[in-house]
Amino acid sequence: MSDYYTIEGERPELAEIEVNAPESYIGRKILPTVTLVDKTAIVYYADATADVAAQTNRSDGSGPSATAISGTSATMTCTEACKRGTITPEEARTMGG
Amino acid sequence: MKAQEQAIADLVLGTADKTFDPAKLMADAQTALDTVRPYEGRTALIGATITLKRVVMGLLNDSNASKVFSRLIAGASPSVAATGMNFSAWMSALAMYLGVDDVLAGDSVIWNAAGTTAEKFGIAVIDAGDDELSHKWQPVLGKTFQFMPDNGIPWQITTVPDRVNHNNLYDAYLWYYPKLMNEAAVYVFDGVGA
């Protein structure tokens, strides 16, 4: 019976197949993807702010005042979406090999 | 991927700024464009395919807007008018009429979902997406953060042999977090009835 089970465990070769988003899906054009190696992080990003006046003088021995470029931050947590597919042993018998 | 698309749609079209009125759409669209002007990128009209079609129908049914709008679709000659009524022409006409760079027509089930995105469309500024870190130094509408530890592969796929029910099971996992960073970069209309 075990002959009719396919490979067990991780399937990196399946994971590497490029997935084409369905043609009418526009979400990733609107909010482009940023890849992360952590599921939870604090992201810093720029918002539309008024122009900041340049500093024209400073005290001896002190540096210019800093203005944060990515002035806003938020905590983000990736949520999981999963889907399970099934191939029965009966179907595996007809798949050749 | 449908769940991800739905999450993005809910965020982008979440809060309405204006009720759709075909008679005033050209002026209201200009208000929207003025609102999103501080942000960098291309302007886009975003909505479900069915919603955008209803916008077109609303314009054609309005006594004043229809004259301007149908002229945009028809062009200069009847022969052009005869061939110009496919959906691509409708989208081009909307882009010309409203003064946006692109029209993004989404899946009607997702972008016209009851209770969230139904009867809504928006005008937004979106960046090209070719720079993953553009949100660091320019105000963009938002990004979708995706957990990809393995060289940019979004999926974790595992085979699970089910010895009880005698099946081969394949589990695919995806982790994502869409984030709207500058809510003012999108202006949302609602009330586009059937």
Per-residue pLDDT tens over the stretch B114-130? 888 999 999 999 987 78
Which of B126, B147, B170 comes nearest A39 by C-beta? B147
Q: What element of type H or E holds A33?
A: strand A33-36
CA contacts within 13 A on the Cβ side of A5 = 17
pLDDT at A92 over 80: no
Any A CB within 8 A of B20 CB: no
CA dist A17 and B133 (Å) reads 25
Most A CBs within 10 A among B2, B87, B143, hence the mutation to make, goes to: B143
Distance CA B67, CA B142 (A): 37
**Which pLDDT value is given to residue A65?**
81
- CA A94/CA A23 separation, integer angstroms: 31
Query: What pLDDT, on a 0 to 100 scale, did the predictor assign at position B176?
Result: 93
> What was the pLDDT predicted at B91?
87
Which one of A5, A45, A88 makes the best mutation probe of the B interface by having the most chain B beta carbons within 10 Å?
Answer: A45
Q: Which residue of chain A has the CA closest to B35? A: A48
Rounded average pLDDT over A7-27? 74
Q: Closest CB to A34: pick one of B137, B143, B182.
A: B143
Q: What is the mean pLDDT of residues B17-38?
A: 93
What does the pLDDT read at residue B20? 93
Say if the Cβ atoms of B171 and A86 lie within 8 Å. no
> A32–B143: do the CB atoms touch at under 8 Å?
yes
pTM of the entire predicted model: 0.82
Nearest 5°: the CA angle B71, B76, B77 is 110
Q: Read off the pLDDT of each residue in A65-69 and give the average, rounded to a whole number.
A: 76
Per domain, the residue ranges of chain A are 34-48+68-97
DSSP H or E run through B110: helix B108-111
- The tally of CA atoms less than 13 A away on the side-chain side of residue B141 is 33
Of A24, A29, A37, the CB nearest to B126: A29
Q: B8 φ, ψ to 5°?
A: -65, -45
Q: What separation in angstroms does the CA of B166 have from each of A8, A15, A68, A83, B171?
A: 13, 24, 58, 19, 16
